[in-house]
Amino acid sequence: MCGRYVLVQKVEVIERRFNVDANNNFQWNANYNISPGTYAPVITSDKPKELQLMQFGLTPFWAKKRMFLFNARAEGDRNKENNPNYRESKGIITKPAFRKPIRSQRCLVIADAFIEGSNLEGLKNPYLIYLKDKKRPFAFAGIYDVWLDPKNGEELESFSIITTTSNELLQKIPHDRSPVILPREKESQWLNDKTPLTEITKMMYPYNSKLMNAYQISPKISSSRNNYKELINPLSKPLTDDDNLNVNKSLQLQGMGARKKYL
C-alpha cells in the first residue's frame, strides 16, 4: 500500500526534470503529507508535455458515486499472500476499475519520497522511504480516469498509484507492498500509448532496494490534517548504510517557496 507520499519540489524543478510545462491553472506548494483526496502533480499519457493537478484516489468513469482507489494492485486478485517472489501474471489488466486505464490512461505520479508503516502497526510506526544519491523528484507508475459527477455534471480527474510486492528494504519495516517506481529511462515508454501491454506489465516490479533507504518519522503523519516539514524529521538511523545524510533538511530546502499562478 502507498497512501502517503511527499513532494516539496518547486514547479520549476519538476518542469526541468520531466521536460514539461505546468498548465495555466497550476498552483503548487510543498506538501509533506499527500494523502487520498489531495490534488497532486501528474503527467498523463494524453498530455505528456504538460504538468497537471489531479486528485489522489481514482474514481472509475463508470462509478455511480465518487471513490478513492488510491492504489492499484499489479497482481489484481492474484498473490493474496503478497509473496515477494511472485513473478506470474498481472491481474490488473482484467480488474474492472483498472483494465481501461492501464491500457490507455497511464500517468507519472511525481514524488520526492513516500511513507509506509509496518504490516501490524501501520502509520503508528511510519517510515519515510527515499531514493539514494538525491534522486528526486522521481515518478511512480500511475493510472488515471475521468469521472462525470451525475449530480452536477462536473468532471473529476483522479489517479491511482500502482503497487507491487515489497523489495528487501520494505521487508525490513516490515511491509508487504511497495509502489512501482519507474526508472528514468522507462518513463517515456510508460506514457507512450503505443507501448505493448506486455511491455507495460514488465515494468510492474519492485524498485532495486540497494538504491533506496528509509528512516522512522513521527506517527503524526497518520493524520492527513498535519502537513509541515517537521513530520519528516528522522527518529532513527537509516535502515541501511547511506552516505546521503540530512535527507529531511535537503527536502525542506528544496521545498522553500511556491510557484505563483501562471498569468
Q: Which of 2, 75, 107, 187 is catalytic?
A: 2
Q: With 60 as the cut, is the pLDDT of residue 263 above it?
A: no
Q: With 60 as the cut, is the pLDDT of residue 252 above it?
A: no
Give 210-219 pLDDT, tens digit per residue. 999 999 999 9
| Cβ proximity of 17 and 113 under 8 Å | no
At 145, list the grid cell: 480516469
Q: What is the 3-state secondary structure (H, E, C) of 18-83?
A: HCCEECCCCCECCEEEECCCCEEEEEECCEEEEEEEEEECECCCCCCCCCCECEEECCCCCCCCCC
Q: What percent of the chain has pLDDT over 90?
A: 86
pLDDT at 261: 32
Q: What percent of the chain has pLDDT over 70?
A: 91
Mean pLDDT of the chain: 92
Residue linked to cell 517472489:
85
CA–CA separation, 237 vs 214, rounded Å? 8
Q: With 90 as the cut, is the pLDDT of residue 256 above it?
A: no
pLDDT at 258: 42
Residue 161 C-alpha from the chain's centroid: 5
pLDDT at 250: 60
In a 10 Å sphere around its CB, with 0-12 CB exposed, 13-18 middle and 19+ buried, how is residue 253 labelled?
A: exposed
Q: If residue 124 lies in a helix (H) or strand (E), which one and from where to where?
A: strand 122-131
Q: Phi, psi at residue 141, to the nearest 5°?
A: -75, 125
107 is catalytic: no
pTM: predicted TM-score of the whole model, two decimal places: 0.92
pLDDT at 262: 25
Give 101-126 pLDDT, tens digit per residue. 999 999 999 999 999 999 999 999 99
Give 125-182 pLDDT, tens digit per residue. 999 999 998 899 999 999 999 999 999 999 999 999 999 999 999 999 999 999 999 9
Q: Which of 50, 81, 88, 116 is catalytic?
A: 116
Q: Phi, psi at residue 97, to the nearest 5°?
A: -75, -20
| Cβ proximity of 169 and 209 under 8 Å | yes
Q: For residue 9, give Cα distances in angstroms to 54, 100, 146, 242, 253.
A: 17, 31, 26, 22, 9
Give 54-74 pLDDT, tens digit per residue. 999 999 999 999 999 999 999
116 is catalytic: yes
Domains, in order of start, for the chain: 4-254 (3.90.1680.10)
| Cβ proximity of 176 and 166 under 8 Å | yes
Q: What is the largest CA-CA distance in the chain?
A: 53
At 194, list the grid cell: 503505443
